[in-house]
Amino acid sequence: MDVVWEHREAIALAFAYTVLLFLIAGVGSTILGTLLAGMRVGPIPVLRWAGAGYVTLVRNTPLVIVIIFFRYAAPKIDLKFNFIDVVIPTGAGDIRLNNIFAACTVGLTMYTAAFVCEALRSGINAVPLGQAEAARAVGMPFGGVMRHVVLPQAFRASIPPLANVQIALIKNTTVAGALGVAEAFVRMRGLINIDATARIPIFIAFAAIFVVLVEIISFAAHRLERRVRVA
Amino acid sequence: MTVQEESAAAPGGTGQPLVRLTGVQKHYGNLHVLKDIELDVARGEVVVVIGPSGAGKSTLCRAINRLETIDEGDIFLDGQPLPQEGKALARLRADVGMVFQSFNLFAHKTVLENVTLGPIKVRKKSKAEADKRGKELLDRVGVGHQAGKYPAQLSGGQQQRVAIARALAMDPKVMLFDEPTSALDPEMIKEVLDVMVDLAERGMTMIVVTHEMGFARTAANRVVFMADGAIVETADPETFFTNPESDRAKDFLGKILKH
C-alpha cells in the first residue's frame, strides 16, 4: 500500500481529471440528451428522424471509436478544440484542460447523450397521455407541454435509469486515459510501472475510489428521487 | 382577453353559431367513427350528446379542439376554421375549455398551480393576478380550501371540480365535457353536476358528452343522440325523453330508463 500512499497527491490529481470529465460530460449529455428526447417525441417528422438517427448511430458505436473520432478524425475536417486551454493550479500540480481533454469530453458527451435520451424517453412514455392532452387543451404549444407538464414528471420516472447512465459515464471516462488525458486509469498504470509487486493493492485502491465515486452518484440519485416524489 | 371583449360586444352572437361542424368524417381503419356530422351550437347554448358506447360521442367532443384529427369536413369556432397545427392551434385551444373523464390534473402541481398554469404560461398573466382569479374559481367550485394540496390527495369529485376550474381560468368561449362524471362514485357525481348546472345557468356555451339523463333534462337546451358514428336525432330534452322519433333512440332510452 506504500506506493499508493506515497503518490496520493498524484492519484488525487488523476481523479480530479476523472471527476472533471464526468461533471462536464454529465451536464453536457443531460442537456443534449433532453433535446434529443424532445426531438424524438416531438410533432416534427424531420426532427424525429434526426433524433432517432443520432441515437441509432451513436448508441451502436463503441465509445472508443466515438472518442477517437473527435480526437484524431475531427481535426482533419477542421473540427478542432485548440482554442481550449484552461489551467487550474493545485497544490499537487496543474490541471490542464487542453484540446485533448476537450475532444474526450465532447466524445463522452455525445456518446452518453444517446443513452440519456433513451432513459428520458422511457420516463416520457411513463407519463399518462392525458397529462399532455390536458396541457394541450389549455393552449400550450409543444414546448410548453414538454417543459411544464411532461418532462418534470418524466424526469421523476427517469431518475433510476439516468443514474445508471451517469454511473456508466464516470467509468467510461477511463477511455479518455487511453487517448492522452492523465486521469485515474493512466495514473494506475503509472503506479504499476513504478512498483509491479504492489499490483493487487494498487488495483484495490483504485477500484475502491471508483466504488466511492459511484456510491456518491447513487446516493445523490436516491436523494433526488425522494425529493421529487409527489404525494 | 380580446376574446371576452368580442363576445361582450356581441351578446347573443351575430346569429352565427359559435361552434359549427359540417360534413365531418373520421375513420379508424375500417371503422367509420364519425359519419357526416352536421352540428351547430349557438352562443350560450348547452348541448348534451348522448348515445351508446362506441357511438363516437367522445371522438366528436375531442375533435372540436383537435385532440382528434378528422379526415374530411370542417369545424369552425366562432367563424374561424380549426388550424392544422402549431401556434394558431394552441391559441384556439386556449379558447376551448376541456374537461376529461379521467380529470387529467397535472400530477406534479398543486391544485392552485393546476388552475394558474395556463393563465400564466399561455395568457401571460402575472402570478398574483392568476392566483387571485384561481382562488376565486376554486372557491366557486367548492375546493378553495384544498388549493395547496396535490391532485392525488383529493377525491375524484374534488379533482373533477378542480379540472373545471382549470378550464374556466382560461376564460373559454366554449366548454367541452367528455363524460365528466363517468369515473366518479355516485355520491360525487352530484357535486360535479351541480357545478356544471351552475355554469349552464351563467350562460356558458357547453357541449357535454354524458350518460347523466337528469343533467340532460335540467340543463340542456338540446339533446343530440348519436349511434354508430352518426347523429341520429336532435331535439329539445323534453321531446327527446318523452317522445323520441327514431327507433334507435327509443331502444336506447328503453334500456337506460328502465332500471
- B96-111 pLDDT per residue, tens: 999 999 999 999 999 9
- Return the CATH number at B69: 3.40.50.300
Burial (CB < 10 A; 0-12, 13-18, 19+), residue B242, is: exposed
Identify all chain B residues contacting A144, using CB atoms and an 8 Å cutoff: 121-122
Contacts of B205 (CB under 8 A, 6+ apart): B18, B19, B41, B42, B43, B44, B45, B46, B173, B174, B175
User: Using the beta-carbon criterion (under 8 Å), do B105 and A134 form an inter-chain contact?
Assistant: yes
A115 Cα to chain B: minimum distance (Å): 25
Residue B13, pLDDT above cutoff 70: no
User: Is a pLDDT exceeding 50 seen at residue B113?
Assistant: yes
- B210 confidence band (pLDDT: 50, 70, 90): very high
Per-residue confidence (pLDDT) for residue B5, from 0 to 100: 40
**Chain B residues within an 8 Å CB radius of A132:** none
Domains of chain A as residue ranges with CATH = 19-180 (1.10.3720.10)
Across the interface, of B105, B118, B163, the residue whose CB is closest to A139 is: B118
Cβ separation B102–A130 shorter than 8 A: yes
Which residue in chain A has the smallest CA separation from B152?
A231
Across the interface, of B92, B96, B107, the residue whose CB is closest to A131 is B107
Q: What does the pLDDT read at residue A94?
A: 82
In a domain, B100, yes or no: yes
Q: Could you tell me which of B203, B243, B209, B236 has the C-alpha nearest to residue B220?
A: B236
Task: Kindly report the nearest CA distance between residue B167 and chain A, in angstroms.
Answer: 7
Helix or strand run (H / E) with residue A60: none
What domain count does chain B have?
1
- What is the per-residue pLDDT across A105-156, written as a single tens digit (0 to 9) for each? 999 999 999 999 999 999 999 999 999 999 999 999 989 999 999 999 998 8
Helix axes B186-201, B156-168, angle to 10 degrees: 20
Residue B136 lies in a domain: yes
What is residue B10's predicted lDDT score, i.e. its pLDDT?
40
Amino acid at B94: A
Q: Is the confidence at residue B146, as pLDDT, over 80? A: yes
CA distance A24 to A169: 11
3-state SS, residue B157 = helix
Banded pLDDT at B4 (limits 50, 70, 90): very low
Of residues B259 and B55, more confidence is placed in: B55
Confidence (pLDDT) at A179: 83
Residue A70 carries which DSSP code?
Answer: I
* Backbone φ and ψ of A93, nearest 5°: 125, 170
CB contact under 8 A, B93 and A149: no
The more confident residue out of B136 and A90 is B136
Residue A20 near residue A213 (C-beta atoms within 8 A): no
Tell me which of A80-94, B111-125, B181-195 is least confident.
A80-94
CB contact (8 A) between residue A149 and residue B106: yes
Q: Which of A41-55, B84-98, B137-151 has the lowest mean pLDDT?
A: B84-98
Query: In the numeric block, which cell numbers belong to residue B143?
Result: 375546493
CB contact under 8 Å between B93 and A134, yes or no, is no
Question: In A, which residues are within 8 Å of B178 by CB distance?
Answer: none
In a domain, B56, yes or no: yes
B219 alpha-carbon distance from chain centroid: 13
In a domain, B7, yes or no: no
Beta-strand (E) ranges in B82-166? Answer: 96-99
Q: From the CB of residue B66, how many other CB atoms can be counted at a distance below 10 Å?
A: 20
Q: Is the pLDDT of residue B151 over 60?
A: yes
Chain B residue nearest residue A127, CA to CA: B107
Q: What is the pLDDT of residue B259?
A: 56
CA distance A65 to B87: 42
Q: Which domain holds residue B61?
A: 19-257
Q: Mean per-residue pLDDT for B5-13?
A: 41
What pLDDT does A226 receive? 87
- How far apart CA B43 and CA B18 sit, in angstroms, is 5
Q: Return the C-alpha cell found at B15.
A: 346569429
Q: How many CB atoms within 10 Å of residue B63?
A: 23
The residue in chain B having the minimum alpha-carbon distance to the alpha carbon of residue A142 is: B86
Q: Give the residues of chain A that fall short of pLDDT 50.
A: 231
Residues from chain B contacting residue A156 (CB–CB below 8 Å): 108
Q: How far is B117 from chain A (nearest CA, A)?
A: 8
What are the strands, taking DSSP E only, across A81-186?
Answer: 86-90, 93-97
Size of interface A-B (CB pairs under 8 A): 73
Mean predicted confidence (pLDDT) in B68-94: 89
Selecting from B90, B149, B163 the residue whose C-beta is nearest the C-beta of A139 gives B90
Give me the interface pTM, i.e. the ipTM.
0.87
- The conformation of residue B211, written as its DSSP 8-state character, comes to S
Average pLDDT of chain B, as a whole number: 90
B249 found inside a domain:
yes
Among B84, B91, B96, B108, most A C-beta atoms within 10 A, so best to mutate, is B108
Q: Where are the beta strands (DSSP E) in chain B?
A: 19-28, 31-41, 46-50, 72-77, 80-81, 96-99, 174-178, 205-209, 222-227, 230-235
Nearest to A100 by CA among A120, A111, A85: A85
Decide: A97 and A85 in contact? Cβ < 8 Å.
yes
Q: Which residues of B touch A153 (CB under 8 A)?
A: 107-108
| Neighbour tally for A53: CB within 10 Å | 10
Q: Which of B217, B159, B150 is nearest to B185 (CA)?
A: B159
Least CB-CB distance to A134: which of B100, B108, B153? B100
The answer to whether residue B219 is domain-embedded is: yes
Given a contact cutoff of 8 angstroms between Cβ atoms, the answer to whether B184 and B157 are in contact is yes
Q: Is A201 exposed, middle or buried, given 0-12, 13-18 or 19+ CB atoms closer than 10 A? A: middle
Rounded to 5°, angle at Cα B14 from B12 and B18: 75
Confidence of residue B45 (pLDDT cuts 50, 70, 90): very high
Q: B149 lies in a domain?
A: yes
Q: How far apart are CA B223 and CA B242, in angstroms?
A: 12
The answer to whether residue B14 is domain-embedded is: no
Q: A150-153 long-range contacts, Cβ below 8 Å, gap at least 24?
A: A150/A124, A151/A34, A151/A120, A151/A124, A152/A228, A152/B108, A153/A123, A153/A127, A153/B107, A153/B108
Burial A64-87 (b: 16+ CB within 10 A, else e): eebbbbbbeebeeeeeebeeeeee
pLDDT band at B250 (very low <50, low <70, confident <90, very high): very high
